[in-house]
Chain A
Amino acid sequence: MSDSVGGVPEPEGRGSFVRAPRDFYGGLVMVAIALFALWASRDLPGMRGFAFGPGTAPRIFAVVLAALGIAVAATGVLAKGPSIDRFYVRGPFFITLSVVLFAWLVRPLGLVIASFLSIVAAAGATPEARLLETLIWGAVLTAFCVLLFPITLNLPMQLWPNSWDLASILKGLSSIR
Chain B
Amino acid sequence: MLDLLHNLAVGFGVSLSPMNLFMCLIGALVGTLIGVLPGVGPLATIAMLLPITFGLPPVGALIMLAGIYYGAQYGGSTTSILINIPGESSSVMTALDGHQMAKQGRAGPALAIAAIGSFFAGCVSTVLVAALGAPLTSVALLFGPAEYFSLMVLGLCFAVVLARGSILKALAMVLLGLLLSMVGSDIETGQSRMAFDIPELSDGIGFVVVAMGVFGFAEIMRNLEQGESREVLKTRLTGLMPTWPDLKASASAIGRGTVLGSVLGILPGGGAVIASFAAYTFEKKVARDPSRFGRGAIEGVASPESANNAAAQTSFIPLLTLGIPPNAVMALMVGAMTIHGIVPGPQVMTKQPDLFWGMITSMWLGNLMLVVINLPLVGVWVKLLQVPYRFLFPAILIFCSIGVYSINNAPFDCVITAVFGLVGYWLVKHDFEPAPMLLGFVLGPLMEENLRRAMLIARGDPTTFVTRPISGTLIAIAIVLVAIAVLPTIARKREEVFVEE
Contacts and interface: CB of A to CB of B under 8 A. Distances in A.
Nearest to A84: B429
A137 B391 contact: yes
Q: Determine chain B's interface SS by DSSP, over half rule.
A: helix
Interface residues of B, number: 76
Contacts of A154: 55
B456 A50 contact: yes
B194 A95 contact: no
A88 B486 CA distance: 33
A79 to B, nearest CB: 5
B451 A72 contact: no
Given A26-B432, A87-B429, A54 B191 contact: yes
B224 A52 contact: no
Nearest to B496: A79
Given A51-B456, A54-B186, A72-B166, A122 B415 contact: no
A113 interface: no
Interface string A78-97: 11100011011011100110
Interface stretch (B76-84, B92-100, B237-245, B392-400): B392-400
A159 interface: no
A140 B415 CA distance: 25
A140 to B, nearest CB: 9
B175 interface: yes
Nearest to A82: B431
Given A1-B496, A50-B460, A96-B422, A118 B406 contact: no
Contact of A95 (B191, B397, B461): B397
Given A58-B182, A125-B224, A72 B172 contact: yes
Contacts of B19: none
Contacts of A137: 391, 394
B289 interface: no
Contacts of B3: none
A65 B460 contact: no
B401 A102 contact: yes
A71 B168 contact: yes
Contacts of A56: 452
A128 B390 contact: yes
Given A68-B171, A84-B430, A128-B228, A99 B415 contact: yes
A73 to B, nearest CB: 10
A20 B182 CA distance: 31
B434 to A, nearest CB: 13
Nearest to A141: B395
Given A33-B176, A65-B175, A96-B421, A106 B394 contact: no
Contacts of B138: none
Interface string A54-79: 11111001101100110110010011
A155 B406 contact: yes
Contact of B217 (A23, A99, A129): A99
Contacts of B175: 61, 64-65, 68
B176 A65 contact: yes
Interface residues of A, number: 80
Interface string B161-184: 000001011011001101100100
Contacts of B402: 102, 111, 115, 145, 149, 157
Interface stretch (A7-15, A37-45, A162-170): A37-45
Contacts of B421: 92, 95-96, 99
Given A26-B432, A129-B390, A176 B497 contact: no
B497 A153 contact: no
Interface string B12-23: 000000000000
A100 B406 contact: no
Contacts of A90: 224
Interface in A20-36: 22-23, 25-27, 29-30, 33-34
A155 B430 contact: no
A2 interface: yes
B51 A155 contact: yes
A156 B417 CA distance: 21
A141 B452 contact: no
Given A37-B194, A141-B395, A153-B51, 12 more contacts: A23-B431, A40-B196, A41-B182, A52-B448, A52-B455, A71-B168, A84-B429, A95-B418, A99-B414, A102-B411, A126-B224, A155-B55
**6 tightest Cβ-Cβ pairs between the two chains A and B:** A50-B460, A54-B186, A103-B414, A26-B430, A91-B224, A103-B411
Interface of A: 1-2, 19, 22-23, 25-27, 29-30, 33-34, 37, 40-41, 44-45, 49-58, 61-62, 64-65, 68-69, 71-72, 75, 78-80, 84-85, 87-88, 90-92, 95-96, 98-100, 102-104, 106-107, 111, 115, 118-119, 122-123, 125-126, 128-129, 134, 137-138, 141, 145, 148-149, 153-157, 176-177
